[in-house]
Structure 1
Amino acid sequence: MKEQMRVEIGLPKLHHQQKLWISTTIALGILLTLIVISNGLGTTGLTTNLSQRNLEPSASHLFGTDWLGRDMFTRTMKGLLLSLKVGLTAGISSVVIASMMGLAAALTGRTVNRFINWLTDLFLSVPHLVTLLLISFVLGGGAKGIIIGVALTHWPALSRVIRAEVMQLQTAPYVVISRNFGKSQWWIASRHIIPHLVPQIIVGIILIVPHAILHEASITFLGMGLSPHEPAIGIILSESMRYLSSGMWWLAVFPGLCLLVVVRTFAMLGENLKQFVNPQHAHDK
């Protein structure tokens, strides 16, 4: 329906490669902007200044100030960069676990395969947020608890994709020929299988990052994540709930919108990359 409307009004159809380039440019632009602005602002806006508290958005304070006179623009930019760091670290850790589990399930014996499948079903049967809260609580919260929690709860779905891919590659002619020539399992995995998994691994990292950012914000919002002394988005939103009834709407609106833009941008990048590497859409590249 959307494609038909696009044709009727004369708009050109974007192929998957064009969508990927556009989303990649936007994501890199946002990432570089956050890094430059966050490092350029310094820590002055994070200090308490009671003479400038509760100021509405203006040219000098784009996002206004909070009840302690701290600049909300500075807190938001640094909080988003911190969330991105936590999300990237958690996403990479989760993908590493998923890759190891997927390879082990496909390349080892039936016993290991059954155990990994059982473990995957176990993690998938429990909601992510519940497991994340439990892990974060046990580890004492903080960035370490969130990273470990995300890494231990987001690997099952990707591990099944990797396992299926490896099982399919096992029957490929070049793999069979290498096996007939007496090549070891590690040689076949490092030369033939792992290079073919790179696209799935990259897509997995990019798709997990938005989930990790949202889970970090939600756990921090509930008080079991990052320290209250850090400029995290979850802390900013949690603290702003007490002042919304007083008319200080900017404390939650601007940080929430920025979080939504960042998460949505990386989610779109992951979806476009997923479509791009999909063999069914190879003719659209």
Structure 2
Amino acid sequence: MRTAAFVLVALGLAVLLVPPIFQLDQQLVDLRAAGLPPSPAHPLGTDEVGRDVLLRCVYGLRVSFLVGLVAALVSMVIGGTLGLAAGSAGGLVDRLLMRVVDGFSSLPHLLLGIFIVAMFAPSPVAVVVSVGITHWTSAARIVRSEVLSLRGRPFVEAAISGGASRSRVIYRHLLPHLVPHLLLAMVLMVPHAIWHETALSFLGLGLPPHLASLGNMINDGQRSLLAGNWWSSLAPGLFILAPTLAVSVLSQRWRDRLNPRMRSELAL
């Protein structure tokens, strides 16, 4: 767990501090330094047009993280709203909304995302819309299940018996208990959104080709593999893998704290 926290802190500091210090020109090339292997001057080498791979990985992680965070937030808003409506209303509304969730869940996320993003020019907005529309179903299921669990709690039943309106029950009693679960679901969705953005950019449908993103870097690096420049693809791949594993470890610990009973049952 400490290693995962250290990795996230180190990457977070790099994303926050490196871009203001090193003003990277996305269009600048230096053919004299093209294809250089890792060295003290360039710890992760240079790409096929002479750009520093480490610096571009940091910029790419920053772009991918921002896109993934906004996309995860959009998914949480859509899924949380529908899940809250389904769980609190119940009956026919619940059944109809959950059939919509089941319908979206049955569709291949990546293919649906490609279809959505192909209707726009490559841009961060197109990726956010694509990921937000295709990844809200898990949030809806989580929120609905928590609302159904909370509706049977004594304090909620007491509020309803006391004449509290539905809106007061939602905002006063349900939302405060849902916030930790929503935050956890959003944290878990950020790496998934980054992977989705990377896949779209790798296919040429995500972010603009000149923009430093991890998917674009892997796409560019695969052309350099035949020339022996393995670092051009390996470095951005590691920058995707490291935060994903770190978030997975920390979120598992967070989930255990939110559900201690589930952890004790699994331990048995």
Deviation at 1:109, TM superposition (A): 5.1
Q: In the alignment, which residue of structure 2 is the partner of 1:164? A: 145
Cα separation, 2, equivalents of 1:237 and 1:46: 17
Cα separation, 1, equivalents of 2:8 and 2:257: 16
Deviation at 1:132, TM superposition (A): 1.0
Deviation at 1:162, TM superposition (A): 1.1
Deviation at 1:194, TM superposition (A): 0.4
Residues 1:178 and 2:159 aligned together: yes
Provide closer, same or farther for how the CA distance between residues 151 and 59 of structure 1 changes in structure 2, counting only shifts above 3 A: same
Provide closer, same or farther for how the CA distance between residues 276 and 47 of structure 1 changes in structure 2, counting only shifts above 3 A: same
Q: In the alignment, which residue of structure 2 is the partner of 1:11? A: none
- Please, what TM-score do these two structures have when normalized by structure 2? 0.92
Cα separation, 2, equivalents of 1:92 and 1:103: 16
Q: CA RMSD in A?
A: 2.0
Deviation at 1:206, TM superposition (A): 0.7
Deviation at 1:63, TM superposition (A): 1.4
| Residue from 85, 88, 97 that aligns with 2:69 | 88
Deviation at 1:200, TM superposition (A): 0.7
Provide closer, same or farther for how the CA distance between residues 33 and 189 of structure 1 changes in structure 2, counting only shifts above 3 A: same
Cα separation, 2, equivalents of 1:22 and 1:258: 15
Gaps of 5+ in 1: 1-18
Q: In the alignment, which residue of structure 1 is the partner of 2:78? A: 97
Q: In the alignment, which residue of structure 2 is the partner of 1:263? A: 244
| Residue from 131, 138, 141 that aligns with 1:150 | 131
Cα separation, 2, equivalents of 1:48 and 1:187: 59
Deviation at 1:30, TM superposition (A): 2.3
Q: What SS class does the counterpart of residue 47 from structure 1 fall into?
A: coil
Cα separation, 1, equivalents of 2:17 and 2:59: 10
| Residue from 243, 247, 272 that aligns with 2:224 | 243
Q: In the alignment, which residue of structure 2 is the partner of 1:191? A: 172
Provide closer, same or farther for how the CA distance between residues 181 and 25 of structure 1 changes in structure 2, counting only shifts above 3 A: farther
Cα separation, 2, equivalents of 1:247 and 1:62: 17
| Residue from 195, 200, 211 that aligns with 1:219 | 200
Cα separation, 2, equivalents of 1:261 and 1:173: 43
Deviation at 1:23, TM superposition (A): 4.0
Q: In the alignment, which residue of structure 1 is the partner of 2:235? A: 254
Deviation at 1:96, TM superposition (A): 1.3
Runs of 4+ in 1 over 3 A off after TM superposition: 21-26, 281-284
User: What aligned pairs does 1:35-54 form with structure 2 within 5 A after superposition?
Assistant: 35-43=16-24, 47-54=28-35
Residues 1:33 and 2:14 aligned together: yes
Q: Which amino acid counterpart does residue 115 of structure 1 have in structure 2?
A: L
Gaps of 5+ in 2: none
Cα separation, 2, equivalents of 1:125 and 1:141: 26
CA contact 1:207–1:271 (8 Å) conserved in 2? no
Cα separation, 2, equivalents of 1:257 and 1:46: 24
Deviation at 1:208, TM superposition (A): 0.2
Q: In the alignment, which residue of structure 2 is the partner of 1:75? A: 56
- Please, what TM-score do these two structures have when normalized by structure 1? 0.87
Q: Which amino acid counterpart does residue 126 of structure 1 have in structure 2?
A: L
